Amino acid sequence: MTQGKVKHRTVEERAAKGKRHRKTPVSSHTGWVPSPDRPDPVALLEEQNLTREQDLVPVRHGRMLVSPFTFYRGAAKIMAADLKDTPRAGLVTQLCGDAHLSNFGVFASPERRLLFDLNDFDETLPGPFEYDVKRLAASFTIAARNNAFTRDDALEVTLTAVRAYREAMARFAHMRTLDIWYAHLSDEELMEAIDLAVATQKGKALKKAEGIGKAARKNIGKARTRDSLQALTKLAEHVDGKYRIVSQPPVVIPARDLGRSFGLSADEVEQVIREQLRSYRATLSRDRRHLLQRFEVVDVARKVVGVGSVGTRAFIVLLQGRDQQDPLFLQVKEATRSVLEDHLPKSRFRQPGERVVQGQRMMQAASDIFLGWTKGAQENRYLYWRQLRDMKGSAVVEGMDPLGMTFYANACGWTLARAHARSGDPVAIAAYLGKSDKFDRSITDFSERYADQNERDYTSFADAVRSGRLEATAAD
């Protein structure tokens, strides 16, 4: 794929460009109302379900039915349809596409350091930077309501996330290009920020803050134990001298039980995976191909993941290195069209798996060494591969109080700004956003209004389940 000539502008020209884009005011997000021709949210979900594994669609609905917050997590397609009618300045970055607060977490870098970053890129696509900011901000408002925060606390948490984004972008605008690329948030830096915030508290707030710091250290410590060896004890059993993946339907179904779903025998399913493995391996760099060749496939299973991803095809592959105590678990996820492609220019990558991988590499400070892609065995099926567990951990959002969520909002806002600064123009975006809090307050107003709409959509969704229009099984 050829690349056109890149025009290099001075810092002053880039800043002037950002200011010119203020013809779309930073306060223009205030007063959002749904479009008069807004599509039926339930119909959008039904449309999305057509390409999903039909036996898993009720599982997806069951997970979304838990609360307006879990509904929002699975409703990226609905929000994408709403965002197309919202103001945008015309400053493009690589978007996560689903940057809600539960799609951030810690994982290990290739150097075995824990990093805090975005961790889900199924919907990634270039587009207006505001899309990700709104998806993130609204998620904080909705999560705060889910945790029974007062209205003032919910607004403050949301405002914190947006302010953290704007202020971080201003700092990135003054950084050297390579320094932006190398910027990251390690677990040590995360804890230092929490400890600094704790030190500013007094009385009852101090005790709460100390509890938050203790919980954060515990979660980080737990993440360090989450590797393939630990997964072996959770997901596999030792039978006839060999490990195999434990059957836990409908969440985990091994290949030996799965063949009927695809019209294949268990041996044929495994053969397909082995062929896919060879194809996927070709997308890795030579050194990583060499490393992966040292492992052999032991077992394969379908494994249901997430909320929004439920129903797309997802597998886990157990591989073995030098012996049975040298396991490697890979996750294989189906990649489909981004929900943003319904309203933005289509991806430059014909293969959706490559779209996901390249978007992730663009936005993350460091990516999984085994991140790659392949075409599926069946027509119009595309996959991407990564490690299943590599010291991955996530915050328990439902257990956060206002103080804890405020800490978390700062981290997420900074992280999203850094991801956008890698692919977009931080100088232009920072110049557009300016130094005042007008953008912060405007996005916070949008978030409150969108949270109201999300609750109405959730009610419509729940009514569709009760009426029998949609089928749902209890969340696992």
Whether residue 173 sits in one domain with residue 86 = yes
For CA atoms 334, 335, 337, 338, the dihedral sign is positive
Question: Is the pTM above the cut of 0.75?
Answer: yes
Q: Is residue 290 one of the residues assigned to a domain?
A: yes
Domain membership flag for residue 375: yes
Give the chain's domain count: 2
pLDDT tens digits along 412-460: 999 999 999 999 999 999 999 999 999 999 999 999 999 999 999 999 9
Based on C-alpha coordinates, what's the Rg of the chain? 22
Q: Are residues 367 and 444 in the same domain?
A: no
pLDDT tens string 164-175: 999 999 999 999
More confident residue, 194 or 131: 131
Across the chain, what does the average pLDDT equal? 92
Specify the amino acid at residue 155.
L
- Shortest CA distance to 77 belongs to which of 293, 307, 294? 307
Contact 409, 160 (CB under 8 A): yes
Question: Which residue, 359, 387, 415, sits at the end of a domain?
Answer: 387
pLDDT exceeds cutoff 50 at 130:
yes
Question: Do 452 and 336 belong to one domain?
Answer: no
Three-state SS annotation for the chain: CCCCCCCCCCHHHHHHHHHHHHHCCCCCCCCCCCCCCCCCHHHHHHHHHCCCCCCCHHHHHHHHCCCHHHHHHCCHHHHHHHHCCCCCCCCEEEECCCCCHHHEEEEECCCCCEEEEECCCCCCEEEEHHHHHHHHHHHHHHHHHHCCCCHHHHHHHHHHHHHHHHHHHHHHHCCCHHHHHHCCEEHHHHHHHHHHHHHCCCHHHHHHHHHHHHHHHHHHHHHHHCCHHHHHHHHEEEECCEEEECCECCCEEEHHHHHHHHCCCHHHHHHHHHHHHHHHHCCCCHHHHHHHCCCEEEEEEEECCCCCCECECEEEEEEECCCCCCEEEEEEEECCCCHHHHCCCCCCCCCHHHHHHHHHHHHCCCCCCCCEEEECCCCCCEEEEEECCCCCECCCHHHCCHHHHHHHHHHHHHHHHHHHHHHCCHHHHHHHHCCCCHHHHHHHHHHHHHHHHHHHHHHHHHHHHHHCCCCCCCCC
Residues written for the chain: 476
| Whole-number percent of the chain with pLDDT over 70 | 96
* Same-domain pairing of 141 and 271: no
**Residue 263 confidence (pLDDT) above 80:** no
- Sort 288 into a burial class: Cβ within 10 Å, 0-12 / 13-18 / 19+: middle
Q: How confident is the model at residue 308 (pLDDT cuts 50, 70, 90)?
A: low
Res. 201 pLDDT band, cuts 50 70 90:
confident
pLDDT of 4 reads 65
- Residue 472 near residue 58, CB atoms below 8 Å: yes
Average pLDDT of the residues in 275-289 = 93
Question: Per-residue pLDDT for 264 more than 70?
Answer: no
Residue 78 belongs to a domain: yes
175 and 246 together in one domain: no
User: Is the torsion defined by CA of 155, 156, 157, 162 positive or negative?
Assistant: positive
User: In the listed set 387, 411, 437, which residue is the last one of a domain according to the structure?
Assistant: 387
Q: Is the pLDDT of residue 266 over 80?
A: no
In terms of residue numbers, what domain contains 324? 228-387
| Residue 379 and residue 261 share a domain | yes
First to last CA, the chain: 45
Specify if 211 maps to a domain: yes
Nearest to 75 by CA among 159, 135, 158: 135
- Residue 261's pLDDT band (boundaries 50, 70, 90)? low
Same domain, yes or no: 366 and 449: no
**Rounded CA gap, 164 and 157, in Å?**
11
Tell me the per-residue pLDDT of 247-256, one tens digit each, with 9 for 90 and over. Answer: 988 788 888 8
- The last residue of one of the domains, among 363, 387, 411, is 387
Q: How confident is the model at residue 307 (pLDDT cuts 50, 70, 90)?
A: low
Q: Are residues 126 and 40 in the same domain?
A: yes
- Please give the structure tokens belonging to residue 217: 């250290």
Residue 210 and residue 344 in one domain: no
- 200-221 burial, b if ≥16 CB within 10 A, otherwise e? eeeeeeeebbeebbebbeebbe
Lowest-pLDDT choice from 53-67, 208-222, 401-415: 208-222
In the structure, what pLDDT confidence band is assigned to residue 186 with cuts at 50, 70 and 90? very high
Q: Are residues 92 and 151 in the same domain?
A: yes
In a domain, residue 475? The reply is no
Lowest mean pLDDT among 200-209, 358-367, 404-413, 437-446: 200-209
Residue 369 pLDDT greater than 80, yes or no: yes
Amino acid at 137: A
Task: Select from 77, 87, 4 the least CA-distant residue to 38.
Answer: 77
Q: Are 256 and 209 part of one and the same domain?
A: no
112 found inside a domain: yes
Are 389 and 228 contacting, i.e. CB atoms less than 8 angstroms apart? Answer: yes
- How sure is the predictor about 1, in pLDDT bands with cuts at 50, 70 and 90? very low
pLDDT the model gives residue 367: 93
pLDDT at 140: 98
Could you tell me if residue 260 is inside a domain?
A: yes
Q: Is 394 a member of any domain?
A: no
Q: Which pLDDT value is given to residue 160?
A: 98
207 and 246, same domain (yes or no): no
25 preceded by a cis bond (ω within 30 of 0): no
